[in-house]
């Protein structure tokens, strides 16, 4: 619904954000680059960092958060990649691009080209990360989640807006990207709750890493039937 409502505004929004006053602002350019980075490799880096922090501090739930965050982002990336390939929408910075320039299957290619605009992958990844973090923290401390949630989703929104500022997406690319991200993140957390003994959690979160002289001892528990 939001995508359909924004579609007629794609060109006006693009022209507004590409005005000289906004594009010549060094501060905005730096902020745009920072949030674009946060929505690209950022969620994967965050997932890995949380996992390693959890392992290093013997915090299983922090390690699990890192694993689940990465899972949510991977699911979102897979879904957006498929839709990008099928829709084949031209990026706004592509030559002679028009908001309605879709072509079935044109988005499938080896490298990231000019026809992968719809939906926004950065938006999906950042909203998937926000959904996982918010839902996981809510299991630990509901009062903390009331703070973490707005911060996480606000950051994800800024990632999405940075893609408009950089002229790498149309406005109507963003809502479905956000929806895919939230659905992916929440689905991963929900599935993990129903399957606490799943393979990834057993083999990654269930590992024990401890110093043993000049070595690291890695051990894991294998659940057996009872």
Looking at residue 7, the DSSP 8-state letter turns out to be G
3-to-88, 90, 156, 170, 212 alpha-carbon distances in Å: 16, 16, 17, 10, 56
3 state SS of 115: coil
User: What pLDDT shows up at residue 204?
Assistant: 80
Q: Give the start-end residues of each E strand in 17-155.
A: none
pTM: predicted TM-score of the whole model, two decimal places: 0.88
Contacts within 8 Å (CB) and 24+ apart, 64-68 = 64/136, 64/192, 64/201, 64/205, 65/132, 65/133, 65/136, 67/200, 67/201, 67/204, 67/205, 68/132, 68/136, 68/188, 68/189, 68/192
Question: What is the chain's length?
Answer: 226
User: What pLDDT shows up at residue 201?
Assistant: 79
Residues with pLDDT less than 50, the chain? 208-212, 216-226
Gap between the Cα atoms of 172 and 97, Å rounded = 15
User: What pLDDT shows up at residue 64?
Assistant: 94
User: What pLDDT shows up at residue 206?
Assistant: 62
User: What pLDDT shows up at residue 211?
Assistant: 47
CATH for 2-197?
1.20.144
Count how many Cα atoms sit within 13 Å of the Cα of residue 27 in the half-sphere of its side chain. Answer: 1
3 state SS of 31: helix
Structural domain boundaries in the chain: 2-197
């Amino acid at each position: 619904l939001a995508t359909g409502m924004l579609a007629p505004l794609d060109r006006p929004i693009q022209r507004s954000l590409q005005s000289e006053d906004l594009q010549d602002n060094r501060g905005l350019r730096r902020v745009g680059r920072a949030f674009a980075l946060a929505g690209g490799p950022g969620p994967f880096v965050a997932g890995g960092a949380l996992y390693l922090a959890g392992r290093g501090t013997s915090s299983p739930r922090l390690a699990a958060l890192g694993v689940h965050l990465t899972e949510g982002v991977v699911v979102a990336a897979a879904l957006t990649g498929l839709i990008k390939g099928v829709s084949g929408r031209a990026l706004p910075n592509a030559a002679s691009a028009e908001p309605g320039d879709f072509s079935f299957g044109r988005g499938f290619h080896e490298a990231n080209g000019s026809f992968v605009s719809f939906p926004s992958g950065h938006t999906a990844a950042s909203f998937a990360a926000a959904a996982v973090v918010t839902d996981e923290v809510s299991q630990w401390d509901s009062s903390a989640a009331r703070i973490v949630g707005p911060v996480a989703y606000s950051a994800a929104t800024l990632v999405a807006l940075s893609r408009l500022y950089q002229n790498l997406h149309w406005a109507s690319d963003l809502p479905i990207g956000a929806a895919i991200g939230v659905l992916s993140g929440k689905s991963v957390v929900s599935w993990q709750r129903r399957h606490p003994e799943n393979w990834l959690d057993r083999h990654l979160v269930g590992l024990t890493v401890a110093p043993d002289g000049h070595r690291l001892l890695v051990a894991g528990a294998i659940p057996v039937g009872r």
